[in-house]
Amino acid sequence: MVKGIHEQYFLAGSDICQTITFNSTTISQGKFKMQAVVYEMNKVGAELAKKAAAEVTKKEPHRPRFVAGAVGPASPSVEDPSSCNVNFDELVEAYKQQLSGLVDGGVDLLMIETCAAGLVAVEQYFQETKQERLPLMLSATVDCSSGRTLSGESIAEFYDRARQAKPFSIGIKFAVGAECADHIKDVNTGCGHMCFNAGGYEERPALFYTNISDFPLDGILNLMT
């Protein structure tokens, strides 16, 4: 079933699909008593997505498909980081274990979403393993009412910090929809991407398209997730 979902996204036009591993850390899986299989969850998740990418690429060799290993926040609530009762070093170690499974599963790049410890884990993981560093996509969740991240940074401040990791894309996630997209104009990065569906809006495709159609043409947006 998971492989089939990836195939449907690729066939619908996606160039990159994320693994279904957003919460696949020992911390997030602890409440399910699944810590022992976290490495396997990430490795198999990557392998399934890669198989789907390979099969669709075989059908359309002029347009190769790629897989991003998804790494997300470990807290049960993104809005309440204190609900994750671990320290920063423990978070980094949990993310490094997740990264190990994703890399061994063959992902082409890494998508670090709304988690500063995940970015630190990436740097430590590749330094320690001496493996070739994979390309990075980074994102932060932005509150539409304030135009700031959940930690209080402006989008410009987040961009200045994130670009130190030399990612090939820096993205913004919105909780409610495309009416919040103007916030990204604060930083015309040249490597911007947006994720509008963070779980809380009901816009139909036609309205969504109307709201964001100018962004690619204006050079503000290069990727959508």
From first to last of its 225 residues, what are the pLDDT tens digits of the chain? Answer: 899 999 999 999 999 999 999 999 999 999 899 999 999 999 999 999 999 999 999 999 999 999 999 999 886 555 555 666 788 999 999 999 999 999 999 999 999 988 888 989 999 999 999 999 999 998 888 777 777 777 788 777 888 888 888 888 887 776 555 556 666 666 555 555 555 455 555 667 777 777 777 767 676 666 766
Give the number of other Cβ atoms within 10 Å of residue 145's Cβ. 8
In terms of C-beta density within 10 A (0-12 exposed, 13-18 middle, 19 or more buried), how is residue 45 classed? buried
Alpha carbon distance 46, 26 (integer Å):
17
pTM reported for the whole predicted model: 0.84
Residues 6+ apart with CB under 8 A from 54: none
- Of 77, 102, 106, 66, nearest to 223 by C-alpha is 66
Number of Cα atoms under 13 Å in the Cβ half of residue 101: 25
pLDDT at 19: 97
Domains identified in the chain and CATH numbers: 1-76+83-126 (3.20.20.330), 135-225 (no CATH)
CA–CA gap between residue 86 and residue 157 (Å, rounded): 26
**Separation in Å, CA 164 to CA 113, 136, 151, 168:** 16, 12, 18, 11
For residue 137, the Cα-to-chain-centroid distance in whole angstroms is 7
What pLDDT, on a 0 to 100 scale, did the predictor assign at position 224?
Answer: 67
